Structure 1
Amino acid sequence: MPHLSGGRIGFGAMQLDTSPGQRDSSVAVLRRAVELGVPLIDTAYLYGGGGNEELIAEALHPYPDDVLVTTKVGVSGKGDDWRLDGRPDSLRRQVDGCLRRLRVERIELLQLHRVDPDVPLADQVGTLVELAAEGKAAELGLSEVTVDELAEARAITAITSVQNRYNLADRTHEPVLHACERLGILFLPWRPLAHDGGAVETIAAELGATPAQVALAWLLAHSPVMLPIPGTSKLAHLEQNHAAATVSLTSDQLARLA
């Protein structure tokens, strides 16, 4: 698992608005995230057809040494017309676009956004390995994969991270999380704030915290390889999410959440 500076709560940039009227506020959120010590910022070509990557470059380039900017490839299209696309030539074009938009020569953590079922996984991962060998990526990750897919990918190359949907209300990928724990792979749960109310709201009231903070605190307590990437377009929410790292759940509260 890579060493990351700062805390254990990253930032998912997907929700940031890139329209002219909101761009300044989105830039402010990104810069505040860095000020707070966010160790990782997650984006993807899918987010606005690269517009999200361009926003991050505008706000943060040249990137601070203590912030890891990670992006994802494996889809193609524009507007509302997107499809999985893990063809080797397409992945190469996508990565070149990411490099250009992020204004870097190497992506420090390049993730496969989804596994394209029409292309052998070995071809998709193999292409990313080739790109890394060419100096275009430092480390590789996967998103929305099963335990078997993770094992197949690891038979080809080292995998640094897995980004699957995981939260208090949806623990479908618990087996994948356990695999990441055994292997020392960073687990980046997306949609980390989701919960089903009930105990979360009660415990939030007990602690003087927000339900979102409780959801994040539970994730951090649940696994040492967990690095949630909550997203927001609001400075206040960003600061609240970041403060979740200081929320301590008692053994009784953890049991009630479990």
Structure 2
Amino acid sequence: MTPRHLGTTGLVSSALGLGCMGFSQAYGPADDAESTAVIHDALDLGITMIDSAMSYGGGHNERLVGRALAGRRDDIVLATKFGIVRDAGGVRLDGRPDHVRGYCEASLERLGVDTIDLYYLHRVDPEVPVAETVGAMAELVAAGKVRHLGLAEVNPDQLERAAAVHPIAAVQFEWSLSWREPEDDVVPAARRLGVGLVPYSPLGRGLLTGALPPGPFPAGDFRGEDPRFADENLTRNLALVRALAELAGRHRVTAGQLALAWLLAQGPDVVPIPGTRSRGRIAENAAAAGVHLSGDDLAALEAVAPRQAWQGDRRSFAAHGTTRTR
């Protein structure tokens, strides 16, 4: 898989990564053995970016990833995050500088490694200036515990304030063919500052695969709270996905592969991290890195699934759901 450079700090990743959240939460029960097999398959297919977080499953995800990557540390770009805390009191944000080192050392222990390649602030703590949190993160780089810094779900002003303290290699945020608002603000700001782009949910939380489970979402699947998957919105969105699948068929690829290829075509600084719990799906996703779209292809895709046609405002869900679950 062709490598891509994120930011200006020397971080190199495969064109596609693997988002690991679904192994521990948000989409219902998962099987650790199958999750481990998916990670191994991803590495064998040339995927090097493996993305976790201390909050996913309350530490379960980092422990799972650490076990799966044992003996293959040199094959990967290991990313994890801090700042969303799950404990007996519920879920909260914590970016206090005096807590950053402790969170990092706990993640290192769960992952079973000495160094984290890309360490993200998962969410900005509204009680702490982002520059102060990033200052503490920079100390981790100086100490050799972390190689590169990242931020997740920030606005342009927060990104600029952070980059003034220490180089930021990547910014992570939701971006897909069905959710394009970041193109108005975060994407141009990151490019102006030389920060790489790591879109999560690049398949629209499964919507763009055209393979949603039938019937209502089961308990534990947070898509049941997302307005994009509700009633009439879902009906209209699935009509767009059917048009996308028809166009994909002309290219002899799946709808999901076409959606990933579209995102990869947005620039060489883009490294999407689709998540999956299916060994078949990880192979399908990896193959999308070999799908090259021409200008005419991109125009045709825009014609059948234009930005303004997708229904459901993610922001009303993200105000509580994203912080709680991702």
TM bin, normalised by shorter chain, reads: over 0.9
Distance 1:80 1:15 in 2: 23
Distance 2:30 2:21 in 1: 17
The counterpart of 1:189, out of the listed 199, 210, 229, is 199
Q: What amino acid does structure 2 have at the position aligned with 1:191?
A: S
The percent of aligned pairs where both chains have the same amino acid is 42
Q: What amino acid does structure 1 have at the position aligned with 2:186?
A: V
CA contact (8 A) 1:232 1:238 kept: yes
Distance 2:30 2:19 in 1: 21
1:63 corresponds to: 72
Distance 1:21 1:178 in 2: 37
Q: 1:189 is paired with a residue of what secondary structure?
A: strand
Distance 2:103 2:86 in 1: 11
1:16 corresponds to: 23
TM-score with structure 1 setting the length: 0.92
1:4 corresponds to: 12
Runs of 4+ off more than 4 Å: 17-21
Query: Matches of residues 34-113 of structure 1 in structure 2 within 5 Å?
Result: 34-78=43-87, 81-113=90-122
Classify 1:79/1:204 alpha carbon distance in 2 versus 1 (closer, same or farther; 3 Å): farther
The Cα shift of 1:214 comes to: 0.8
Structure 1: stretches of 5+ with no match in the other structure: none
Residues 27-81 of structure 1, C-alpha deviations (whole Å, 9 max, x = no match): 1111111101102010001111111111111111233323101000011123792
Residues 139-171 of structure 1, C-alpha deviations (whole Å, 9 max, x = no match): 100000111111100111100110011111111
Q: 2:265 is paired with a residue of what secondary structure?
A: helix
Q: What value does the CA root-mean-square deviation take over the aligned residues?
A: 2.1
Asked if 1:231 is matched to 2:275, the reply is yes
Query: Matches of residues 101-250 of structure 1 in structure 2 within 5 Å?
Result: 101-174=110-183, 175-194=185-204, 195=208, 196=237, 197-198=240-241, 199-250=243-294
The counterpart of 2:34, out of the listed 16, 25, 28, is 25
Number of paired residues? 257
CA contact (8 A) 1:180 1:225 kept: no
Distance 1:95 1:216 in 2: 31
Q: What amino acid does structure 2 have at the position aligned with 1:207?
A: H
Residues 78-124 of structure 1, C-alpha deviations (whole Å, 9 max, x = no match): 37921111112332221111010011222111110011111111211
Distance 1:137 1:95 in 2: 9
- Choose between structure 1 and 2 for higher RCO, CA contacts under 8 A separated by at least 6 residues: 2
Distance 1:79 1:42 in 2: 25
Distance 2:177 2:101 in 1: 36
